[in-house]
Amino acid sequence: MPQNTAAPVANVVRQAQQQHMRGNIRQAEQLYRQVLASDPRNPEAIAGLGLVAAQAGNLPAARELLKKALSLQPENPDNLVNLAKVDIGLNQPAEAERALLDALKRRKRDAAAWNMLGWCQQRQGRLTEAVDSFRQAVRIKGDLPEALNNLGTALMLLGDNAEAAKILARCVSLAPKAAQAHMNLGSVYAALDKEADAIKHGKRATELAPQAAEAWFNLGRSYHTFDHADQAIAAYGKAVELAPQAAQFMNNLAQVLESALRSDEALAWAEKAAAMAPDVSEWSENLVRGYLVRGRLDDAKATAEAFLARHPDTLGMRLLLGDLAIREGRFEDAKAAFSALLEEDGSRARALRGLARADKVKAGDPLLDRMADVAAREDIPVEDRVELYFALGKANDDVGDVDTAFHFYAQGNALKNRGCRYDPAKMEDHIDGLIETFTADFLAERADWGDPSERPTFIVGLPRSGTTLVEQILSSHPQVAGGDELPDFNQIERLLKRRVGYPRGMATAPRAAVTDFAPGYLAHLERIDPDAVRVTDKLPGNALRLGLIALMFPQARVVHCRRDPVDTSLSIYFQNFGGAHEYGYDLASIGHFHRQVDRLMAHWKSVVPTPVLDVDYEAVVADHEGQGRRMIQHLGLDWDDAMAAFYANKRVVNTASVWQVRQPIYKGSVERWRKYEAHIGPLLDALGMTR
């Protein structure tokens, strides 16, 4: 009579599985092999050996064993789920997804399988489907932390930060020691502008996982978002220490160092990021911009050209080279660069804009219709449409079609203004605070705080008031270097707001709160030109900081640029600024801001010891040599004939006036507003002008 071996084999399989569940992997493996010695096609033993191989890190072998088990037992959902786990480990999300879908046909209420399916879909870029799968996992098992964390993260990536915060907070309450969930919750709170919560959970993630570089990086981002520069530098630095090959970590460290005015360190890290990932365009493009800001044109060009030699089709870098040509005044080169980009794809908004910036557009130029056609397309990003509306405004102004030009300018401004939050009452309160704080007595009591250097020269005024033209004339003098719009005092103001409550908090601020910044600023000027007697800083917004400037550099010179208020305001309205000009996209807001700056300038002139020279744009246009002599005398230097041919100055120009300052004196902007008078009623009213 034949011996029945089925029962003994089943018993050994159960023993093997029990040992496996207890973590006794070696014993389990021996028992699985014992089963296969007598039953080579036993699917449970083959699948068990597949799991053993997976736990040992041998994923290819695990995959083969699990597939063999499935060929013998195709209806087993456990084997399908385990195969999916192995495929995920092999970075094969599409293969894993197929296995999971098969498993879920057989076992629909498997929360872990739905969670893994969502991960596979997200990894393949199908974020909406992933959210649906994660939701299904949570419906089945509401206390599954992994699914909650994944759902919250996917919602955050979709921009639904409010719901993401609720889901991730629930995850943290269920798994308070899950570092990843704390990290993600900190990120979403940062996106919701909840500073305390963002930093709290970001710090908790680093406490739970102190060796996790990503946790430190995310904490650094939260600190960076809320202007805690020192803490952001420390957190990013820790991330780089733990992950010394991570170029993104280095790039963010460079950015926050720049904001903390540690420019040399910032550039060094930007260079390291680009070197660490030489084929990632973002880091090399950031480095090129860093070189441009510092006036290192040769380095900027060499970096861009070296990258393009390896990756000739990189759009961002090719656009940067075109922009660099404009800044250097090589307009024909710029037009050639942008035209080549448009031959490949006529819908490239930045290339169309660049072509419009590189020269005056003439009537009948097909560029007008090309830009209008692209701007009318519904599939282009809003920011590209904004760029094209402003470019179309400029181009139609060039050809003298005033009504069409204003139509496009108004459309561009309306779109841009959606994201702006100019608050007239808040601006008035800020100006009041400056006037109340920086009195003549306040400055006199702190007269010994300042650095005696006479090198800093500040060119201030409203944007579009002639600051670029004035700097171009002054920097044509061999002893004057043009620094362009330096970010230093903007950053200093931000740091003082956080540290002492600027401006009103300056009344009780310690001396070091101001004097600690002077050496860094002077070092910046030294880097621009170590031989220059004067170095200009033409950031227009420094008009709001002359009290602070007087505290730091009482011997500095200030040139205050003035221009017809309507011409100035209209020119602001016609410019798509890259930085923070919240007031700049609404006619009434521009007029209000203009009057507030005028009010503050009147105060500064009555209290600051720093010499201030008013220079009217119209006077410069009428007699640039005479005004140049006034200005250079104000700087304590003798006239040089090179100043008469300022338009031949080859320095880089980064502002919207780049074309005009490359020409002999430009008179077309005087009383330009008269052409647009029918369209600018709100501006005239805000400026208090009768109509």
Can you give the pLDDT at residue 655? 47
Mean pLDDT (whole number) for 610-639: 94
pLDDT at 20 over 90: no
pLDDT at 50 over 70: yes
Range of the domain at 390: 313-417
Last residue of a domain, one of 367, 384, 417: 417
Sign of the Cα pseudo-torsion (478, 484, 489, 491, in order): negative
Can you give the pLDDT at residue 494? 87
Does residue 360 form part of some domain?
yes
Can you give the pLDDT at residue 487? 85
Q: Report the C-alpha gap between 304 and 274 in whole angstroms.
A: 11
User: How is 202-215 classified by DSSP, letter by letter?
Assistant: HHHHHHH-TT-HHH
Q: Report the C-alpha gap between 608 and 440 in whole angstroms.
A: 7
Mean pLDDT (whole number) for 413-440: 95
Q: Report the C-alpha gap between 54 and 34 in whole angstroms.
A: 19
Mean pLDDT (whole number) for 570-598: 92
End-to-end CA distance of the chain: 118
Can you give the pLDDT at residue 246? 94
Residues 369, 446 within the same domain: no
pLDDT in tens, 549-581: 999 999 999 999 999 999 999 999 999 986 668
Residues 399, 476 within the same domain: no
Residues 531, 656 within the same domain: yes
Asked if residue 613 lies in contact with residue 556, where contact means CB atoms within 8 angstroms, the answer is no
Does residue 332 form part of some domain?
yes
Can you give the pLDDT at residue 498? 85
Residues 477, 556 within the same domain: yes
Does residue 529 form part of some domain?
yes
Helix/strand/coil for 535: strand
Residues 552, 630 within the same domain: yes
Mean pLDDT (whole number) for 184-212: 95
Which residues have C-beta within 8 Å of that of residue 284, sequence separation ≥ 6?
Answer: 274, 278, 303, 304, 307, 317
Across the strands, what pairs with 480? 534
Residues 625, 543 within the same domain: yes
Last residue of a domain, one of 417, 449, 475: 417
Does residue 534 form part of some domain?
yes
Going by pLDDT thresholds of 50, 70 and 90, the confidence category of residue 165 is very high
Residues 409, 458 within the same domain: no
pLDDT at 306 over 90: yes
pLDDT in tens, 245-295: 999 999 999 999 988 878 789 999 999 999 999 999 999 999 998 888 777
Can you give the pLDDT at residue 13? 85
Going by pLDDT thresholds of 50, 70 and 90, the confidence category of residue 168 is very high
Does residue 659 form part of some domain?
yes
Does residue 652 form part of some domain?
yes
Which residues have C-beta within 8 Å of that of residue 525, sequence separation ≥ 6?
Answer: 455, 456, 481, 483, 532, 535, 537
**Structure tokens that stand for 486 in this block:** 């330096």
Residues 445, 402 within the same domain: no
Residues 331, 460 within the same domain: no
What pTM was estimated for this model as a whole? 0.73
pLDDT at 663 over 50: no
Q: Report the C-alpha gap between 349 and 7 in whole angstroms.
A: 74
Does residue 265 form part of some domain?
no
Can you give the pLDDT at residue 401? 93
Can you give the pLDDT at residue 260? 80
Q: Report the C-alpha gap between 629 and 633 in whole angstroms.
A: 6
Give the residue, 296 or 249, on which the prediction is more confident. Answer: 249
Residues 623, 662 within the same domain: yes
Mean pLDDT (whole number) for 342-346: 89
**Average pLDDT for the chain:** 90
Can you give the pLDDT at residue 23? 86
Across the strands, what pairs with 562? 616
Can you give the pLDDT at residue 658? 46
- Considering 291-300, 328-337, 464-473, the range whose residues carry the highest mean pLDDT is 464-473
Can you give the pLDDT at residue 666? 54
Residues 451, 511 within the same domain: yes
Can you give the pLDDT at residue 44? 87
Per-residue exposure over 123-151, b if at least 16 CB sit within 10 Å of its own CB, e if not: beebeebbbbbbbbbbebbeebbbbbbbb
Per-residue exposure over 463-482, b if at least 16 CB sit within 10 Å of its own CB, e if not: bbbbbbbbbbbbbbbebbbb
**Structure tokens that stand for 473 in this block:** 């004339």
Percent of the chain with pLDDT over 90: 67
Nearest to 487 by CA among 531, 541, 543: 541
Mean pLDDT (whole number) for 432-449: 96
Going by pLDDT thresholds of 50, 70 and 90, the confidence category of residue 604 is very high
Q: Assign residue 470 the CATH number of its domain.
A: 3.40.50.300
pLDDT at 661 over 90: no
- Angle ∠(490,228,262) on CA atoms, nearest 5: 55
Does residue 684 form part of some domain?
no
Q: Assign residue 340 the CATH number of its domain.
A: 1.25.40.10
Can you give the pLDDT at residue 421? 87
Q: Report the C-alpha gap between 635 and 559 in whole angstroms.
A: 9
Say how many domains are in the chain: 2
> Residue 465: which H helix or E strand, with range?
none
Residues 452, 515 within the same domain: yes
pLDDT at 7 over 70: no
pLDDT at 534 over 70: yes
